[in-house]
Amino acid sequence: MRAVNVTLAALVSMAALSDSFAQSIEPRAYSNAPVGVNFLILGYAHTNGGLSFDPSLPLTNPEVHTSNAILGYIRAIDLWGLSSKVDLVIPYTWLSGSADYLGQPVQRIVNGFGDPAFRLSVNLYGAPALTLKEFADYHQDLIIGASLLVTAPLGQYDDTRLVNIGGNRWSFKPEVGGSKALGPWTLELQAAVTLYTDNDDFYHGNTRSQDPLYSAQTHVIYNFPLNIWTSADATWYVGGRSSINGVPSNDLQRNWRIGGTIALPVNVRNSVKLAASRGVSAVTGNNFDLIGIFWQYRFGGGL
């Protein structure tokens, strides 16, 4: 049974697309916005890269490519006088993965909806809830905020396959963050932990568990005239060791990612954002490159 468990654990990281929310890079997560304004986001992101497995296993040359369509909705709300946001993100993924097992190629091609994510974020200090008219006189100094992101097990999942888009489990990511404006510069720091429920139907009824994944990210943002901004981004995450039927896997994560973001307004309602990131240090798993483009449409709140 242990030999079977360890072999199953070898491909767990290929099935861990739901972990992407725990490892995302997101500048301006705690910026203020006028109450009642809505944001509709459509995006496309492509990832590719290798994955690291237990070195004792006969798996070589792993490679995964994904194309991801993303639909998002954000609404700025007033929560007891504090500026807050509610978010919904629904991803759709096309995935192809391959590796050599005992010298023979194995492959998986699949597409479907990923696990949707829901988030509530609250700016606890430095960002009062303001109408659009009041917001015209607002100038950021220090903002401190907190959020809770929840992913639901509603994505594509097949218990007869090792590689899936959905995780078949819940995850909960509480986070705290700060944002400090210094002239045209903004410095940001966020810290979070992601907690996972068990997947009790992993590959023909096995149980997969995962330890908490701790993460931190930082952003250095420069604000240009005409509401153009760019950001240099970095994130670090550690933990997340998994186990199959109680047998620990050799997949502890201790990884760094860096990236960049640029936002370009089109008009008062529309803007385009470009983002890219890559893994620069990975003990195991998720050492991939990402490039994406996102269109944002703003409406409501008096716009």
pLDDT tens digit string along 164-217? 888 899 999 999 999 999 999 999 999 999 999 999 998 889 998 999 999 999
| Ranges 29-33, 187-191, 252-256: which has the least confidence | 252-256
Question: pTM above the 0.95 mark?
Answer: no
Place of tokens 């991803």: 91
Distance CA 162, CA 59 (A): 14
Mean pLDDT (the chain) is 85
- Using CA atoms of 171, 285, 291, 26 in order, give the dihedral in degrees to the nearest 10: 40
Whole-number Å distance between alpha carbons of 106 and 133 = 59
Could you tell me if 135 and 7 are in contact, meaning their C-beta atoms sit under 8 angstroms apart?
Answer: no
Tell me if 37 sits within 8 A of 9, measured CB to CB. Answer: no
pLDDT category, 279, cuts 50, 70, 90? confident
Q: Does position 10 have pLDDT exceeding 50, yes or no? A: no
Confidence of residue 292 (pLDDT cuts 50, 70, 90): very high
Range of the domain at 95: 2-299
Amino acid at 184: P
Task: Round to the nearest angstrom and report the end-to-end CA distance of the chain.
Answer: 61
Tokens of 7: 């072999």
Q: Which of 49-58, 234-243, 294-303 has the lowest mean pLDDT?
A: 49-58
Count of domains observed in the chain: 1
Higher pLDDT, 271 or 66: 271
| Band of residue 6 on the pLDDT scale cut at 50, 70, 90 | very low
Distance (Å, rounded) from C-alpha 47 to C-alpha 298?
A: 27
Chain centroid offset of residue 228 CA: 23
Give the torsion sign (CA, 272, 231, 46, 252).
Answer: negative
CA distance linking residue 58 with residue 11, whole number of Å:
11
Task: Examine the pLDDT at 14 and tell me if it is beyond 80.
Answer: no
The rounded percent of the chain whose pLDDT value lies above 90 is: 62
- CATH number of the domain at 177, please: 2.40.128.130
Looking from the CA of 72 toward its CB, the CA atoms found within 13 Å total 22
Q: What is the pLDDT of residue 252?
A: 83
Grade residue 284 by pLDDT with cuts at 50, 70 and 90.
Answer: low
